[in-house]
Amino acid sequence: MSTLFTPFSMGPVTLANRIAIAPMCQYSADEGIASDWHMIHLGHLALSGAAILFLEASAVSPEGRISPKDLGIWSDQHAAALAPIVAAMRRHAPIRLAIQLAHAGRKASSQVPWEGGANIAIDDGGWQTVAPSALPHADGETVPLALDDEGLARIRDAFVAAARRSHALGLDAIELHAAHGYLLHQFLSPLSNRRSDQYGGALENRMRFPLEVFAAVRAAVPATMAVGVRMSATDWVDGGWDIGQSVRFAQELSAAGADFIHVSSGGISPAQKIPVGPSYQIGFAARIRAETGMPTIGVGLITEAQQAEDIVARGDADVVALARAMLFDPRWPWHAAAQLGARVDAPPQYWRSQPREYKDLFGPTTLGQR
């Protein structure tokens, strides 16, 4: 039996298999409002056969957007735009739905990727960014304002309000974005956090604000909703955040009631040197899983069915998440199930597509036509 296609529980949320669709920014919103692109994009991914779909990074405040086209959830209007998309997916697919709540910090105010992705200066239509310290992401970029106590409280409250809207939408899980060089990661890393108060310096202090945000979000939604964190396990820069600190952070999150940890890496500095290759981040997930016992999602150039199967069968991660591979092949779980001799969910409208050699791929099906 394929381990990849066995059920698994992340806290209160039971997954039909071990395949997740990682959050992928679409840069297609209007002032944070979801568009018809989101209906099309998320709708077809919901039919993929994966067990859980993470909606893209959704900004908890306007200045927290990576780009002017980022999805947002900082008002009831934003939630209302997502509601019919969520309802459509619920009508037609059993997939679990999660949202990634995010604040970009000093990496905000950027062009969309297909326009270069560079920092947009304030004089060119960008906005003032904020961060733990007044250090830009790269030389020549907007210098962020160092957050004071009032600013920290405002952002923490914005995460809480976004979490409550996410719960009201009927989503199954929330993932806090503490990876890829965005605000919560900026607090964790000594490369971006040079504060001298209770939120800077020692590891305990650098973890403090992300842990406060997590605790506030966990308390804001019922226990029936899973809450987890995506982290960068290493900055890939000497003197930066590393796997040892990540294990400690994950242990603190576990003690605070986190239901899962989603392990990625990098993003804090242009000086990073990442040895990219198949499964290049899975070793980090394996160590965090082994030392915390927390349900762990592994990610990073996972493209092949047997590769994914081996990761979960070895216990390196409980769930594998795909992003680019899922965009390239939105039926990746179907093809993986066929290759591994497993079953996968498919909508009845698509049952006719089941190849003759895989008679049990979609489970018991009944088709008739006059």
| Residue that has been written with the tokens 């000497």 in this structure | 238
Active site residues: 182
Of 254, 234, 266, 355, whose CA–CA distance to 295 is shortest? 254
Q: For residues 260 and 295, is the Cβ–Cβ distance under 8 A?
A: yes
The burial of 148, by beta-carbon neighbours within 10 Å (0-12 exposed, 13-18 middle, 19 or more buried), is given as exposed
What are the tokens at 278?
A: 């198949």
Distances (CA, A) of 233 to 21, 255, 265: 19, 18, 5
Contacts of 364 (CB under 8 A, 6+ apart): none
Q: What is the CA radius of gyration of the chain?
A: 20
Q: How many angstroms separate the CA atoms of 20 and 302, rounded?
A: 11
DSSP 178-212: E-TTSHHHHHH-TTT----STTSSSHHHHHHHHHH
Q: How many angstroms separate the CA atoms of 139 and 160, rounded?
A: 33
Taking the CA atoms of 342, 347, 351 and 354 in sequence, report the sign of the dihedral they define: negative
Q: For residues 175 and 228, is the Cβ–Cβ distance under 8 A?
A: yes
